Structure 1
Amino acid sequence: MRLCLTLLCLLFALPVSAAQLTLTLEGGSRQWHTAQLLAHPQARDLEVEQDVAYKRTMHYRAIPLAVLLDGVQPGDHLQAVALDGFAAEMPAGPLLQAGPAQAWLAIEDPSQPWPPLAKGKPGAGPFYLVWRNPQASGIRPEQWPFQIATIRRLPPVEARFPALLPAPALAANDPVRQGFALFQQNCLACHRLNGAGDAQFGPDLNLPHNPTEYFQPAFLRQYIRDPQSLRHWPQAKMPGFAPQVLNEQELDALLAYLVHMAGRKVQP
């Protein structure tokens, strides 16, 4: 009995456990532990205004992400995978640049944990991709993945998932093609389509049914803009896409892509 009590006391005396970030890039994988990143010579205190996850100014210990991306070239494609299955697809170019927008990896110190994202929810740690001056390069909210566990170099989405592609006969300037690009930026991090994609977070958007098949058009637009205004669910995780993030012309293009893909169902 005394031994059990002693072990319990030791357990509760331990600090919150540190985390590990896996980078799978050119030449293999490397693991970075929290303590290594916090002590990195290029780590610094960073103020982030209009933080996407916390909706306010936040302060972090962070390191320029480019410092960790050894061997990555601007034309490469990267994917950040979160603990909950969110999989953000990101071209490497913006992540490597020193400005005007610059990507930073924020590192949660176990002795000073970040606040929860909402009541009853975890924080953005252990690792969070944040940006300085994001508006200067048109950085979208889905390019701020949090709770990151892995960053890996992969072929581009078009090569990995041909089931996502619109019909090849479409003109280069067809709105459906723009919608496909917007789908990759805004939807693919959480959703699959035709079973294609790496996300484990949200439902497939074409199988068994595409949302354009069961939503009235006005309600679908409302749902994308403000999900809770249409279907209130306290545990819902889908964010709304305000006009500042997805303007009306872009929303039209995204919906055009979904309508188009409803006629291109491919069983995985």
Structure 2
Amino acid sequence: MRVCLLLLTGLFTLPLYAAQLQLDADALSRQWSTAELLDHPQAMVIEVPADVSYKRAMHYRAVPLAALLEGLGSDDHLQAVALDGFAAEMPAAPLLQAGPARAWLAVEDPEQPWPPLAAGKPSAGPFYLVWTDPQRSGIRPEQWPFQIARLRRLQPVEQRFPQMRPDPALPANAPERLGFALFQQNCMACHRLNGGGDAQVGPDLNLPHNPTEYFAAPWLRQLIRDPQSLRQWPQSKMPAFSEAVLNEAELDALLAYLEHMAGRKS
């Protein structure tokens, strides 16, 4: 019995978790532990005055993300995969730049854990992509993925998932093309379309039916602007997309893309 108690005591003295961040980038692949990142030579305490996830000012010990992506180029494309299946698609260029907006990997210290995101929810850790001066480079809320487990270098979305592309015959300035870009930035982290995508959180937005096929336009706009005002349940994960995040012209383009893709099921 004493041996069992000693073993249990030893377990409870371990850190809360031993997190690992994995970068999958062929020859540039590598892995870091929480301790390695907290002790990284470029790690420092940063202030984020308006944190997207916590909705208030936060301080983090963080590493410039560019320092962890050495060898990657501005033409590369990355995907941040979270513990819950959230998969944020991100071009590498903004992540590598030194300003005006700058990307940081915030690292949760097991001895000083971050607060929960909400009652009954976990924190944003162990790893969270945060930005300083995000407004100066038009960084969107979906570019703040939290609970990150992996970073993957991948081909751009249109190459990996051709079934998601709008009709190539559309003019270059067609709103459906802008809508496709906005879909990648704002929707792909949670949703698939025509089976394309890596997200595991929300439903496919074209199969078996596209929301433009069963929602009247005003109600679909309301769902995007304020999901809880239309469908309310405690487990809902869909965020609200205010005009500060998605203006009216951009929302028009996004809906044009969805309506267009309703005729391109595959």
Which residue number in structure 2 is paired with residue 145 of structure 1?
145
**Cα offset, 1:214, TM superposition:** 1.1
Provide Cα deviations, 1:196-238, integer angstroms capped at 9, x if missing partner: 0011111100011111111111111000001001111111111
Cα distance in 2 between the residues matched to 1:19 and 1:215? 42
Segments of 4+ moved more than 6 angstroms: none
Cα distance in 2 between the residues matched to 1:26 and 1:13? 37
Superposition RMSD in Å: 0.9
Which residue number in structure 2 is paired with residue 134 of structure 1?
134
Which residue number in structure 2 is paired with residue 121 of structure 1?
121
C-alpha contact 2:165 2:180 (8 A) present in aligned 1: yes
C-alpha contact 1:25 1:70 (8 A) present in aligned 2: no
Consecutive unaligned residues in structure 1, runs of 5 or more: none
Equivalent AA in structure 1 for residue 29 of structure 2: S
Consecutive unaligned residues in structure 2, runs of 5 or more: none
**Cα offset, 1:14, TM superposition:** 2.2
C-alpha contact 1:81 1:88 (8 A) present in aligned 2: yes
The alignment's TM-score, normalised by the length of structure 1, stands at 0.97
**Cα offset, 1:8, TM superposition:** 2.1
Cα distance in 2 between the residues matched to 1:26 and 1:45? 31
Cα distance in 1 between the residues matched to 2:237 and 2:179? 22
**Cα offset, 1:28, TM superposition:** 4.3
Cα distance in 2 between the residues matched to 1:113 and 1:194? 39
Give runs of aligned pairs for residues 35-46 of structure 1, distance below 5 A: 35-46=35-46
Give runs of aligned pairs for residues 73-92 of structure 1, distance below 5 A: 73-92=73-92
Aligned identity (percent) is 74
**Cα offset, 1:161, TM superposition:** 0.3
Give runs of aligned pairs for residues 1-268 of structure 1, distance below 5 A: 1-266=1-266
Cα distance in 2 between the residues matched to 1:40 and 1:12? 27
SS at match of 2:29: strand
SS at match of 2:74: coil
**Cα offset, 1:26, TM superposition:** 4.7
C-alpha contact 1:80 1:89 (8 A) present in aligned 2: yes
C-alpha contact 2:28 2:71 (8 A) present in aligned 1: no
C-alpha contact 1:25 1:69 (8 A) present in aligned 2: no
**Cα offset, 1:6, TM superposition:** 2.4
Q: May I ask how many residue pairs the two structures share in their alignment? A: 266
Cα distance in 2 between the residues matched to 1:223 and 1:47? 33
Cα distance in 1 between the residues matched to 2:43 and 2:216? 49
